[in-house]
Amino acid sequence: MKFGGTSVADLERIHNVARHVKREHDAGHEVAVVVSAMAGKTNELVSWVNQMPTVTGSNAPFFDAREYDSIVASGEQVTSGLLAIALQSMGIDARSWLGWQIPLQTNNAHGAARIEDIDGGEIIERMGAGQVAVVAGFQGIAPDNRIATLGRGGSDTSAVALAAGIKADRCDIYTDVDGVYTTDPRVAPSAQRLDRVSFEEMLEMASLGAKVLQVRSVELAMVHGVRLFVRSSFDDPDATDSAAGANPPGTLICDEDEIVEQQIVTGIAYAKDEAQISLRRVADKPGVAAAVFSPLAEAHVNVDMIVQNVSEDGSVTDMTFTVPDGDLGKAKKVLEAAQGDIGYEVVQSDPGMVKVSVIGIGMRSHAGVASTAFQALADKGVNIRAITTSEIKISILIDSDYAELAVRTLHSAYGLDKEAA
């Protein structure tokens, strides 16, 4: 069971989390719980770190990631202890575990460390004896014997890694929504909660803006075959009796083999605040893509969609890609500086784009999925700027004015709308 920052925001909510845990414990399950810091706490600690150089009057930003980790990891240390006490006061044997106590070993990349190994032995033993393990998320111990954090949102990753390390049957992610939807319900009120989603689809959805789960945690779950169940921590903790086999509302993220009736399209995702950049009349020769994207990567500009068409005569081509709106200025400077190396003629750019994506494992074996999208958008007069596709996804770049219309249109076109009650 994993609970995020809003689920442990204050003592009352921590107590509510304890009731969720008690329900599962009372149903006869062996339970480990991973907790985030109280909502806002991590931001406060990070802001203290960031304010330090300002206080000293230095201009250059200063940052020792090892100290940052030690400071910031204290937030989860507090909530894990408080939840253990809350459980104990309900008569449940429980203890907190810090990253270095498990140990959850990471590499040396302080501030955004990767998990190298997790020793679940002692926790498995104690869970077998009826003790609930309350694990501080987001943290581990690096080879230098110092605390390492896994980067923002790392508690999801902690939970999945722990679930793999203790060979858990399932990893329940309690969050502030009650599952994964066919699209954003704020945009399309007809969106429905999905009962099951494959790891591959969830990866595309998570990275495309349906921010229920961290992408890294889904990747890890897929690699280790950890079944994830996304559900709401704001449910009545006592309402669902898992001993009785009742299914609480939520979405199971699992291997596609477990999904019996696979829909062709599972959901519609979108990513706002994209900017489009087009290089016109780029020399169509080996190494030109590297000449474009290497300097952008060095400048930490995150390039998303990339479209390059086959040139007519094999000499020059056009290249289009997207970057976050906020990086557009930086990207243009980098490209202008590299104009000689790349050899393009003109750079054009347009901020305020949105990328809408149609996602579904079923489209691998079904023809005509893309044309349905193009026709539906054309019928509404939505102009398509660029298209990219993968095996299970079609992404379409459009003007952001049409974002909501496009999402709703595609949602209907693939039959995802909830039936009227």
Q: Which is nearer to its own copies, 62 or 170 (CB)?
A: 62
Six token digits for residue 169: 């049957």
Q: Which is nearer to its own copies, 67 or 327 (CB)?
A: 67
CA distances from 185 to 13, 230, 385 (A): 25, 16, 25
| Pair type for strands 386-390 and 228-232 | unpaired
Site for its own copies, rule CB under 8 A: 11-12, 14-15, 18, 45, 48-49, 51-53, 55-56, 58, 62-64, 66-68, 70-71, 73-75, 77-78, 80-82, 84-86, 88-90, 95-96, 98, 100-101, 145-147
Give the integer Cα–Cα distance in Å for 221 and 225.
5
Q: How far is the CB of 132 from its own copies (least distance, A)?
A: 12
Phi and psi dihedrals of 236, rounded to 5? -65, 120
53's CB contacts (< 8 A; 6+ apart) are: 60, 61, 62, 63
Q: How far is the CB of 144 from its own copies (least distance, A)?
A: 10
SS3 content of the chain, % helix, strand, coil (to 5): 40, 25, 35
Q: How far is the CB of 37 from its own copies (least distance, A)?
A: 10
Give the integer Cα–Cα distance in Å for 359 and 390.
9
Q: How far is the CB of 339 from its own copies (least distance, A)?
A: 38
Q: Which is nearer to its own copies, 139 or 276 (CB)?
A: 139
Q: Which is nearer to its own copies, 48 or 346 (CB)?
A: 48
Q: Which is nearer to its own copies, 56 or 371 (CB)?
A: 56
**Residues facing residue 279 across a β-bridge:** 319, 347
Give the integer Cα–Cα distance in Å for 200 and 214.
13
Q: How far is the CB of 2 from its own copies (least distance, A)?
A: 19
Q: How far is the CB of 48 from its own copies (least distance, A)?
A: 6
Q: Which is nearer to its own copies, 66 or 330 (CB)?
A: 66
Q: How far is the CB of 159 from its own copies (least distance, A)?
A: 19
Phi and psi dihedrals of 389, rounded to 5? -135, 150
Q: How far is the CB of 73 from its own copies (least distance, A)?
A: 8
User: Are 383 and 276 within 8 A, CB to CB?
Assistant: no
Neighbouring C-alpha atoms within 13 Å toward the C-beta of 324? 7
CA distances from 105 to 72, 165, 216, 238 (A): 17, 12, 17, 36
Q: Which is nearer to its own copies, 124 or 387 (CB)?
A: 124
Q: Which is nearer to its own copies, 9 or 291 (CB)?
A: 9
Q: How far is the CB of 97 from its own copies (least distance, A)?
A: 9
User: Are 355 and 399 within 8 A, CB to CB?
Assistant: no
Q: Which is nearer to its own copies, 96 or 322 (CB)?
A: 96
Measured at the alpha carbon of residue 207, what is the angle toward residues 201 and 213, in degrees to the nearest 5?
80
Give the integer Cα–Cα distance in Å for 153 and 207.
13
Q: How far is the CB of 289 from its own copies (least distance, A)?
A: 40
Q: Which is nearer to its own copies, 48 or 243 (CB)?
A: 48
Long-range contacts of range 16-21, CB-CB < 8 Å, 24 or more positions apart? Answer: 16/233, 16/237, 17/83, 17/86, 17/174, 17/233, 18/83, 18/86, 18/87, 18/90, 18/92, 19/90, 19/237, 19/238, 20/174, 20/233, 20/237, 21/83, 21/87, 21/92, 21/132
Other CB atoms within a 10 A radius of the CB of residue 21 amount to 25
Q: Which is nearer to its own copies, 126 or 408 (CB)?
A: 126
Q: How far is the CB of 24 from its own copies (least distance, A)?
A: 18
